Structure 1
Amino acid sequence: MKILIRAIVSFFVFIVDVAYGKRSYARFYLLETIARVPYFSFLSVLHLYETIGFWRKADWLKVHFAETWNELHHLLIMESLGGNRYWGDRFVAQHVAIAYYWVVVPIYMLSPQYAYYLMELIENHAYHTYDDYLKTHEEELKAQPAPQIAIDYYRDGDLYMFEEVQTQPSGEFRRPNVDNLYDIFLNIRDDECEHVKTMEMLQKPEARQTFKSPHSILESRHSALALKPANLDEMV
Structure 2
Amino acid sequence: IRAAYASLCWALDVMYAGRPIERFWILETVARMPYFVYISMLHLYESLGWWRAGAELRKARRSSRAELSGSLHVHFAEEWNELHHLQIMEALGGDLRWGDRFLAEHAAVFYYWALVLIYLISPAASYQFMEMVEGHAADTYAEFAEQNRERLQAIPPPLVALAYYKSGDLYLFDQFQTSWKAAGELRRPRCNNLYDVFINIRDDELEHVKTMAACQ
Take 1:94 and 1:119, find their aligned partners in 2: how far apart are those partners?
A: 18
Which of residues 191, 203, 206 in structure 2 aligns to 1:193? 206
Q: Which amino acid aligns with 2:127?
A: Y
Q: The residue matched to 2:178 in structure 1 has which SS?
A: coil
Which of residues 3, 7, 14 in structure 1 aligns to 2:3? 7
C-alpha displacement of 1:53: 1.9
Where in structure 2 are the equivalents of 1:57-206 lying within 5 Å?
57=53, 58=58, 59=60, 60-168=71-179, 169=181, 170-203=183-216
Q: Deviations over 1:85-139 (max 9, x none)?
A: 0110000000000000000002112211100000001000001000100110000
Take 1:164 and 1:22, find their aligned partners in 2: how far apart are those partners?
A: 34
Q: TM-score when scaled to structure 1?
A: 0.82
Question: Once the two structures are aligned, what percentage of the paired residues are identical?
Answer: 54
Q: The residue matched to 1:62 in structure 2 has which SS?
A: helix
Query: What CA RMSD, in Å, does the superposition of the two structures yield over aligned residues?
Result: 0.9
C-alpha displacement of 1:171: 2.0
Q: Which amino acid aligns with 1:101?
A: Y
Aligned residue pairs: how many?
199
Where in structure 2 are the equivalents of 1:4-83 lying within 5 Å?
5-57=1-53, 58=58, 59=60, 60-83=71-94
Take 1:190 and 1:12, find their aligned partners in 2: how far apart are those partners?
A: 22
Query: Is 116-125 or 58-67 further displaced after alignment?
Result: 58-67
Take 2:32 and 2:186, find their aligned partners in 1: how far apart are those partners?
A: 23
Q: Which runs of 5+ in 2 are unaligned?
A: 61-70
C-alpha displacement of 1:27: 0.2
Q: Which amino acid aligns with 1:141?
A: L
Take 1:157 and 1:69, find their aligned partners in 2: how far apart are those partners?
A: 11
Larger radius of gyration: 1
Q: Which runs of 5+ in 1 are unaligned?
A: 204-236
Q: TM-score when scaled to structure 2?
A: 0.90
Q: Deviations over 1:137-165 (max 9, x none)?
A: 00010000001111111111221111111
Take 1:130 and 1:52, find their aligned partners in 2: how far apart are those partners?
A: 40
Take 1:157 and 1:124, find their aligned partners in 2: how far apart are those partners?
A: 25
Take 2:190 and 2:109, find their aligned partners in 1: how far apart are those partners?
A: 34
Q: Which amino acid aligns with 2:28?
A: E
